[in-house]
Amino acid sequence: MPEGSLLRVPPGARTATPLCQLAQELAALSGWQRYGTAFLLGALLAAGLPPVDLTPVIFVSFPLLLWLDEGSLGGWASARLGYAFGFGFFVAGLYWIAAALFVDIGRFWWALPFAVVGLPAVLALFTAAALGMTSVLCRRLHFSAAARVSLFAVAWSATEWARGHWFTGFPWNLVGYVWAGAFPGAIAMLQTTAWIGIYGLSFLTVLAAALPALFGTPSLAPLPQRRRAAPGVAAVLLILVPMAAGAVRLYRSPARMTGRWLRLVQPSQAEIMTPDPVAFAAELQRLIGLSEAPAQHKLAAIVWPEGAAPYFLGRDWRARDAIAALAPEGGYIITGALRASPPGVKPLRVWNSIEAIDGKAAIRARYDKAHLVPFGEYVPFHKFLPIDKITPGTIDLSAGPGRRTIDLPGLPPFSPIICYEAIFPDAVVDEAARPQWILNVTNDAWYGRTSGPYQHFAIARTRAIEEGLPLVRVANNGISGVIGPAGRIVARTALNDITYADVPLPAAFGPTLYEKIGDWAFLAMLALGLVPAAVRRDR
């Protein structure tokens, strides 16, 4: 076996434990069995994410991956194994992206392989780098088995951070999100993101999940029972201690309300790829019908989802008047809308925006989406790629200037974010003008009844805990709702419902540690994770 192997047999060691035998059998696999098993373990890991929420599968996927890697004969072999694992993880976790193409499959059929296979194939390079880097360093520096596990957790988490930042970033389905769903007690563990962020939670999760791989090393067999149990005890403590701290935070942070009420409107409109005035009029009438229903509480605002207004409101005063008539007394209609540059201004530019309209039809505030979806809202290197973006229209959308806080009379100041801007940690709030809540409008109708809308809601829930701010989420179709600053779900709608919900706005917490220092806590954790690698070298 290679240097640093979990399966290296010291003189006199017993190797007959069932887990040792399983580890040796996995390491002995070759060819399609080896890579097929890695692919299936990656797909199994995706089952820990919403909406399946089988969080304990992390304690199967990661140890078995490390046992498989014992059969690798070098860094490239480990990287190939990590690639197969990551490919399975991303195929199973991101299959729903392909559903967007079926809105106009006649035009975008050619993109199906890129959505189903191409994107996972690219993202799997990060998992390949994590396992390959671990293997190379362990062999060259003669790390012990325990140090190898710690180094793997560092490498995996570092590549997750890189995935979230490089090439515009795509931090979807980070391993820490296995705690963002409905698994019992998961919300207590998710509280740790208020201190260390989602990347820090991923590190703790991977380290705890990988430690049981040490049960497959024969070197534990001759040790006393207490020492043989050490990896399991350490894994349990890495989960239970943060979970207990999170439970204390929940207990000491009861839900409080501001006294303001909002109406969230979820019209569940079908996607239309070509302009249709009749369909646009029908969409507006559905929004109006849901918005003008009687309310039992005085509303401060009625919130419509991303792209709800089917017209350029800055140019169409008739549509703006019709919308303004719905505004509650002294309140606003806050809607997602496309915004265009003024007539005659060249070149024509279009923004994906949020606009707040008062009862006099004045646009009182506006936010332009800053982090656009590649190929969805614009085509990178469009001069060289003769293809259209997925969303309607031939003009690439323009990016806004970035984060801002909107302060309107009668409403606590809020931070607006649109659609997948919610997936970027430490990028949803303007720290210079801290808001009191976050408004996330989105349109998940593209993805139908898949796991995508559930994952999107869980990710947005994590942003609320990280920032210590309530988050209001309004989806065209998907899951709308209100999430308190501790991640408690105050209200939520069901997928595909045509409905509205009148909900109270929770009060904000004070700034969290994560809001103050961002990912510096995570980087410190990575440095601490390297300590075992530095001191636990085989002699």
Mean pLDDT of the chain: 92
Tokens of 372: 């656009």
Statement: residue 124 has pLDDT above 90? yes
Active site residue 306: yes
| More confident call, 42 vs 14 | 42
Q: Do residues 49 and 93 make contact, with C-beta atoms less than 8 angstroms apart?
A: yes
Statement: residue 5 has pLDDT above 70? no
Q: Do residues 305 and 329 make contact, with C-beta atoms less than 8 angstroms apart?
A: no
Calpha distance 148→1 (Å, rounded): 15
Alpha helices in 252-365 (DSSP H): 277-291, 317-324
Active site residue 20: no
**Catalytic residue selected from 20, 138, 369, 515:** 369
Backbone dihedral angles phi then psi of residue 342, each to the nearest 5 degrees: -60, 150
The residues spanned by each domain of the chain are 18-252+519-535, 257-508
**Catalytic residue selected from 70, 160, 283, 306:** 306
Q: Do residues 537 and 141 make contact, with C-beta atoms less than 8 angstroms apart?
A: yes
CATH superfamily of 257-508: Carbon-nitrogen hydrolase (3.60.110.10)
Reported as a single tens digit per residue, the pLDDT across 485-535 is 999 999 999 998 999 999 999 999 999 999 999 999 999 999 999 987 777
Calpha distance 508→435 (Å, rounded): 9
pLDDT at 414: 98
Reported as a single tens digit per residue, the pLDDT across 421-463 is 999 998 999 999 999 999 999 999 999 899 999 999 999 999 9
Tell me the pLDDT band of 1, cut-offs 50, 70 and 90: very low
Q: Do residues 89 and 233 make contact, with C-beta atoms less than 8 angstroms apart?
A: no
| pLDDT mean over 235-257 | 96
Radius of gyration of the chain (CA): 25
Reported as a single tens digit per residue, the pLDDT across 400-430 is 999 999 999 999 999 999 999 999 998 999 9
Reported as a single tens digit per residue, the pLDDT across 85-96 is 999 999 999 999
Tell me the pLDDT band of 310, cut-offs 50, 70 and 90: confident
pLDDT at 391: 86
Across the beta sheet with 350-358, the strand order is 363-368, 350-358, 332-340, 299-303, 257-266, 499-506
Q: Do residues 50 and 96 make contact, with C-beta atoms less than 8 angstroms apart?
A: no
**Catalytic residue selected from 20, 419, 421, 515:** 419
CB contact set of 440 (below 8 Å; sequence gap of 6+): 417, 418, 419, 421, 422, 460, 463, 471, 472, 473, 474
CB contact set of 129 (below 8 Å; sequence gap of 6+): 79, 82, 155, 159
The pLDDT > 70 percentage for the chain reads 94
The pLDDT > 90 percentage for the chain reads 77
Secondary structure (DSSP) of 410-467: TS--EEEEEGGGGGSTT-SS-GGG--SEEEEEE--GGG-SSSHHHHHHHHHHHHHHHH
Statement: residue 198 has pLDDT above 90? yes
pLDDT at 296: 94
Statement: residue 45 has pLDDT above 50? yes
pLDDT at 382: 84
Statement: residue 3 has pLDDT above 60? no
